[in-house]
Amino acid sequence: MATAAVSCRELSVVEAGDLSHLLDALERRGYTVIGPQVRDGVVVLDVLHSAPDLPAGWSEVTGNGRYTLKRTGGSFFFRCTPSAQSWKAWLYPPKLRLWRASREGSGFRVVPEDGPIPRYALLGVHSCDLHAFLRLDAVLGQGKYRDPVYTARRQEAFIIAVTCSEPEANCFCASMGTGPRPTEGYDLCITEVQEGRRHYLLVEAGSERGSEVLSDVPRTQPDEKQASMPGVLANKAAARMGRTVDLHGIREALYTRLEDRYWQEIGKRCLTCGNCTMVCPTCFCTTVEDTTDLVGSQAERTRRWDSCFTGEFTYIVGGSLRYSPAARYRQWLVHKFAAWQDQFGTPGCVGCGRCITWCPVGIDITEEIRALRNGAQKSKEERNGDA
Amino acid sequence: MAVSVEDPMLTRPCRVQRMRMETSDTFTIELENPCHNGAGPGFAPGQFNMLYLFGVGEVPISICGDPARPEVLVHTTREVGSVTRAMRRLRPGDVLGVRGPFGTGWPVDEAVGKDVVLIAGGIGLAPLRPALYALLERRDEFGKIVLLYGTRSPDDLLYQRELEKWRARFDLNVYVTVDRAAGRWRGNVGVVTTLIPGAPFDPLETVAFVCGPEVMMRFTVQELERRGVAKEAIYVSMERNMKCGVGLCGHCQFGPFFVCKDGPVFQYSKIEPFFGKREV
Amino acid sequence: METLERILAEHPFFEGLDPRHLKAIEDCATNVRFKPDEYIFREGEEANWFYLIRQGQVALEVFHLEQGSIIIQTLGPGDVLGWSWLIPPYRWRFDARALEHVRAFALDGRCLRTKCDESPELGYALLKRFAMVLEQRLQATRLQLLDLYSVRR
């Protein structure tokens, strides 16, 4: 049911009840829609069969190492910021077979994987997670060597972003320059509005593909006030961020403090469980496993997510280079905020705050950065004060 | 329209041509390189391959053969784990998977017109050997060429026949030392750093290539600097855990550097802030 | 014609030494030669000399009952051999064997000890030089101890 064509960047009003038309339009075009749902007491990201499965009326309450779901009573679909997991798993699978090999005479033959590329429509991507994909693009898709699976799935993926209006206690996308308003990298962007009893979505097409899909969805023109809502809501959200990070000179600040004693303090608390790396939307470390069947005639190479917090991550002959928890935590933090800049031109963190939520001992990366920077600041003041 | 991206994780089967024991726990594998068509250099000295043994696993090993003969891929390795232990039992005709060559090489062109000093510790001689071949191939372009090689004992010397041939040359200065020796040994005894003060090179017009255990490289760099060699003129070869070898798995990170793609050869001045820092 | 004084002055160990002190040392110095495999001194013997190697390699050895002689270090031209003359009980702690033809200055320890007692300035100048040699040897020995090329399992 095509209506008049939509041009890019043009805003449309879609009634909340008509969201299912969007899902249908996507499914008709061969997409599997992935979206947030409530399951087992958290909001997970999984295949979305219909609009009612969205976590309408739920919101998340987070803190240091704390997560609860709360009923808000409203009907917002995309209030939950962000979900327990990240969207990473859909384009960068936690477990992936790379190839198989079989013995042939005295040698072997390698059989590359050749399956179809899944086409996912990711519904409800907050700005932090949107930027996370841009980070992963730089790591996996722009170097001399690239990940063919990520790049293929990324090309196919249809992204429906969401403007954040209710940031959570652990959010700091504003400090990282990655939100709360999506500005690029999406096919469609939704801003949810509730006015009295009316619940509607302001939808903006961000690409030709997005325009094309949106043309199948019943919509109306926004008035001037409505057209300004995305900006207004985003600004309100930006002012209510739960946490902040001072990015000025952070690269030098971290590199000059590599041997600071404060890392030992963190090391006493960190369990090296790696939860932070598992929920982080930009962590990309993987490991490779080579296995064979019992007879030894078929071999397989699999890639799995890995974490720099594991004991064997830095194993070379004789032992692990990063043995102490302090060193492993330092690696993660310094990589995320300093080394990533040298490697890919931006920090690696997008301010989603999931690591703070899911750390069993409640380590807050923004607090640790502050403590590291202030530590040195304090000693400088002490020195000047006593002069 | 999907643009297909080449998969850097696919391995190419290559046949073993020769196997040779160098010492009691170190051996050399020579592989036939079917992908080389005779045009252009196959690898740069200092680069490495990821070698895969069917069903056992994959390890990064420096290429240590002659860059002018890339139709044969030569690798010397020590038996240190399950994969290398299994590799030791390979016979000519067996097949290994090869991915590579990866990484940065020794900057031979930087040394044109200057003296070159190669300092090798233990198995570090293997990644330096292709650099020596490359230098000798263009001998006239360089000043003095000095090889300083230290290892544990006379039984651990690699490439002994070649060492003798190199020592016999008039345009090459070779000094060998061991950490300990039985009474019969007539050569130097002492750590390789003791060879640096007296070695015949001009510190102000020298490029140094250093390869060996990190501790050895740390003290070697100190001695070189003490003799007046600038940090910018010193190159070291680093080693870290590697899984993919192509900068995607994150294991080999050393500060902001990926040893597999920004290294393994690094200019010392670039990595100095991180070199020698504990657990970095 | 080269005088002993001139050659002594050119030896790296005495670089920068005051000519007066050099003269005093010259009185305690003689030219010596050793043949290949000749022992320059053996462990336990009285240590009344030290040697400035001018030419040839010398091996420092320790005798081990099961392993035979183990060479722990070799020294060559420009190196100083022996400091046990400085420290009581003035006995050699290892063997020194010439690996090839060796030419050296032998310096009489007893003669020098007397002169140093008489002239603390000379004593200080010599001790400073020996301290540097000791430091370098200690550092090198520590590195040898590290067994750098072994594989930790």
Shortest Cα distance, chain B CAs vs residue C104, angstroms:
18
Neighbours of B121 (CB within 10 A): 28
Task: Give residue B30's pLDDT.
Answer: 97
Find chain A residues with C-beta within 8 A of C153's C-beta.
318
Give the per-residue pLDDT at B1. 35
> Is residue C60 in some structural domain?
yes
Contact residues for B109 (Cβ-Cβ < 8 A; gap 6+): none
Q: Chain C contact for A317, CB < 8 A?
A: yes
Range B156-163 average pLDDT? 96
**What three-state secondary structure class fits A202?**
strand
Q: Does A207 touch chain B (CB under 8 A)?
A: no
What count of other Cβ atoms lies within 10 Å of the Cβ of residue A109?
11
Tokens 């890019």 sit on residue: A8
CA–CA min distance C72, chain B (Å): 6
Q: Do A327 and B248 touch (CB under 8 A)?
A: no
In 10 A of CB B197, how many CB atoms?
12
> How many domains does the structure of chain C reveal?
1
**The model's pTM:** 0.91
The rounded Cα B72 to chain-centroid distance in angstroms is 17
pLDDT at B127 over 90: yes
User: For C113-132, b where at least 16 C-beta lie within 10 A, e where not — what string?
Assistant: bebbeeeeebbebbeebbee
**DSSP state, B212?**
S
Return the residue in B10, B50, B259, B272 with the most chain A beta carbons within 10 A, the one to mutate for interface testing: B10
Burial class (CB in 10 A: 0-12, 13-18, 19+), A41: exposed
- The DSSP annotation for B222-246 comes to HHHHHTT--GGGEEEE-----SSSS
The chains in contact with chain B, meaning 3 or more Cβ pairs closer than 8 Å, are A, C
Smallest CA–CA distance, residue B88 to chain A, in Å, is: 17
Low-confidence ranges of chain A (pLDDT < 50): 1-3, 385-387
Give the number of C-alpha atoms closer than 13 A to the C-alpha of residue A69, restricted to the C-beta side.
17
Q: Is A196 on the interface with C (CB under 8 A)?
A: no
pLDDT at C1: 44
Which one of B182, B190, B198 has the shortest CB-CB distance to C144? Answer: B190
Structure confidence at residue A258 (pLDDT):
95
Determine the distance in angstroms separating the CA of A318 from the nearest CA of chain C, rounded to an integer: 5
Nearest to C96 by CA among C72, C126, C127, C113: C72
Instruction: Give me the helices (H) in chain C, please.
Output: 4-10, 19-26, 109-118, 120-145
Model confidence band, residue B276 (pLDDT cutoffs 50, 70, 90): confident
Asked, for residue C151, whether it belongs to a domain, the answer is: no
- What pLDDT is stored for residue A174 in this prediction? 95
* Residue C150 located in a structural domain: no
What is the Cα–Cα distance from A37 to A114, expressed in whole angstroms?
Answer: 31
Give the percent of chain B with pLDDT over 90.
91
Q: What is the pLDDT of residue B179?
A: 94
Q: For the segment B197-227, what is each residue's pLDDT rounded down to a tens digit?
A: 999 999 999 999 999 999 999 999 999 999 9
Which amino acid is residue A207, in one-letter code?
S
Residue to substitute from A97, A145, A334, A340, interface B, most B β-carbons within 10 A: A145
Q: What residues of chain B have any CB closer than 8 angstroms to a CB in chain C?
A: 25, 78, 80, 121-123, 151-152, 156, 177, 179-183, 185-191, 193-194, 198, 212-213, 215-216, 219
Residues of B in contact with C147 (CB under 8 A): 152, 179
Facing residue for B189 by CB, picked from C68, C72, C149: C72
List subunits contacting chain A, requiring 3 or more Cβ pairs under 8 Å: B, C
DSSP category for residue A338: I
- Whether A305 and chain B come into contact, CB under 8 Å, resolves to no
Model pLDDT, residue A82 = 72
Report the CATH number that the domain containing residue C50 is assigned in CATH: 2.60.120.10
pLDDT at C64: 79
Rounded CA separation B93/A229 (Å)? 71
- pLDDT at residue C115, as a whole number: 92
Domain holding C125, by residue range, is 4-145
Of C7, C18, C13, the residue nearest C50 (C-alpha): C13
**pLDDT tens sequence across C2-46:** 677 788 888 888 888 888 898 889 889 999 999 999 999 999 899
C-alpha A311/C-alpha A323 separation (Å) is 7
C91, part of any domain: yes
Size of the A and C interface in Cβ pairs below 8 Å: 6
Q: Which amino acid is at A384?
A: N
Instruction: Answer yes or no: CATH 2.70.98.40 is held by domain B12-102.
Output: no
Would you say residue B41 has pLDDT above 70? no
CATH topology of domain B108-237: Rossmann fold (3.40.50)
